[in-house]
Amino acid sequence: MNKKPFVTYDKLQEIVKEFPTPFHLYDEKGIRENAKALKEAFAWNKGYKEYFAVKATPNPFLIQILREYGCGCDCSSMTELMLSKAIGATGDDIMFSSNDTPEQEFAYAASLNGIINLDDITHIEKVEKAVGKLPKKMSCRYNPGGIFKISNDIMDNPGDSKYGMTTEQIFEAFRIMKAKGVEEFGIHAFLASNTVTNDYYPLLAQKLFELAVRLKEEVGVHIGFINLSGGVGIPYRPDQEPNDIRVIGKGVEKVYNEILVPAGMGDVAIYTELGRFMMGPYGCLVTKAINEKHTYKEYIGVDACAVNLMRPAMYGAYHHITVMGKENQPCDHMYDVTGSLCENNDKFAIDRMLPKVDMGDLLVIHDTGAHGFSMGYNYNGKLKSAEVLLTEDGEAKLIRRAETPKDYFATFDCFDFYKKVLE
């Protein structure tokens, strides 16, 4: 089976004349259609809001597209907060969900009037110290522990995760926060990553809704929102069935009506913090075949490397590859597709069946719209690539230029060395 790129071969040939490979390319049309579908899927909930996970794709031009559909920003660091502020996201448009957090970041989030979501019970005191007093609206991250299953399939292991509070801690945290003047509470949880099943969100919602009812009844707090976080994944492999966000939305609505409404909590807002689902399929890494090697295996070397896309090297993650212009040719050649880093795991594919690859061929590496560019780094002195938006009217628009050696050496600009290296 194959995946169809969102850009045609002819269009890509035009784009590479203006923007040298490698670069990340994004599909505006796909991003907009997906954002609209998500909004419609949760339209039954009056207070629903998506907080896009900035960490997934921290590009202001792309996030601004989502903002047109009412999306806020899920931030986990000072610079993500700064980015959000710069594009006009403040107040309830910001959800600050971090862990191991410095006090100054809590203070900055509070200065933007963002919603602070606490990862640990000890952070109550930290926020109080950083801000002076607790905000009127706060949230806590929940970790039920154990193994998280859907039917008999193990989805993830929350008990092994560094994130969130135990059941006992979250009850104690809400009691403390209530006593210290917090008036509106939220619950947040992230129990599994990149799930490709329509059952994940409804099952997570059930657990959180039941917890919310207990907290209201036993602690006497006002639960204003329940944040299902992320975890709704995408089909990286062509034989995977994609999630149906409308089915997911209906599943959450069902348990909402079964659990919250009878408890007199039919006004609770549902929040999500999707990143991968929002952007992943609508980005690709465009790279060029520049070397071939015939030793114990057949290798195709491309001008991108793990600096541009770390997931295959870091996780052994699968990303589908299309050799542009050869979509209809038989995949009868087995290759390792590699980058140039001095690391043997710098491989985009291992033993991948592809059409015969010739030098100069353009390769599209699919599903890099989230956790692609954002996870880049500068090992071996490699420079991060440009980001380009394919607009709805077919224009290729630069939304981040490629790094230059000047960028790489910029943190030496207070030394004489900086001048010498750029001579």
Structure confidence by residue, pLDDT tens digits, 323-356: 999 999 999 999 999 999 999 999 999 999 999 9
Containing 387, the helix (H) or strand (E) segment is strand 386-390
The confidence score (pLDDT) of residue 326 equals 97
- What does the angle CA 82 – CA 111 – CA 109 come to, to the nearest 5 degrees? 55
The confidence score (pLDDT) of residue 274 equals 97
412-420: average pLDDT: 92
First to last CA, the chain: 51
Three-state DSSP state, 141: strand
Structure confidence by residue, pLDDT tens digits, 143-175: 988 776 665 554 556 767 788 999 999 999 999
Cis check: omega of the bond before 238, within 30 degrees of 0: no
Structure confidence by residue, pLDDT tens digits, 181-200: 999 999 999 888 899 999 99
86-115: average pLDDT: 96
Q: Residue 394 above 90 pLDDT?
A: yes
241-248: average pLDDT: 97
287-308: average pLDDT: 98
Query: In sequence order, which residues have a C-beta less than 8 Å from that of residue 171 and are 6 or more positions away?
Result: 215, 218, 219
Q: Where are the beta strands (DSSP E) in 33-183?
A: 49-53, 72-75, 94-97, 115-118, 137-141, 148-150, 153-156
The confidence score (pLDDT) of residue 150 equals 65
Q: Do 70 and 32 meet the contact criterion of CB atoms below 8 Å apart?
A: no
- Considering only CA atoms, give the Rg of the chain: 23
Strand partners, 294: 298
Q: Residue 222 above 70 pLDDT?
A: yes
Tokens representing 185 are 């509470």
Q: Nearest 5°: phi and psi at 159?
A: -65, -20
Q: Residue 46 above 90 pLDDT?
A: yes
Q: Residue 68 above 50 pLDDT?
A: yes
Write down the CATH superfamily of domain 281-412: Lyase, Ornithine Decarboxylase; Chain A, domain 1 (2.40.37.10)
pTM for this predicted structure: 0.95
Per cent of the chain over pLDDT 70 is 97
> Dihedral sign, CA of 75, 76, 81, 82?
negative
- CB crowding 97-107: b at 16 or more within 10 Å, else e: bbeebeeebbe
Cα–Cα distance list, 118 to 84, 169, 177, 183, 372 (Å): 19, 12, 11, 15, 27
Least reliable range by pLDDT among 62-76, 181-195, 257-271: 181-195
The confidence score (pLDDT) of residue 145 equals 81
The confidence score (pLDDT) of residue 151 equals 55
Structure confidence by residue, pLDDT tens digits, 227-239: 999 999 999 999 9
CA distance 214 to 218: 6
CATH 2.40.37.10 placement within the chain: 281-412
Tokens representing 154 are 């193990």
State the chain's mean pLDDT as an integer: 95
CA distance 401 to 386: 5
CATH 3.20.20.10 placement within the chain: 28-280
Cα–Cα distance list, 419 to 259, 384, 413, 415, 416 (Å): 65, 22, 8, 8, 6
CATH class of domain segment(s) 28-280: alpha beta
The confidence score (pLDDT) of residue 154 equals 45
The confidence score (pLDDT) of residue 38 equals 98
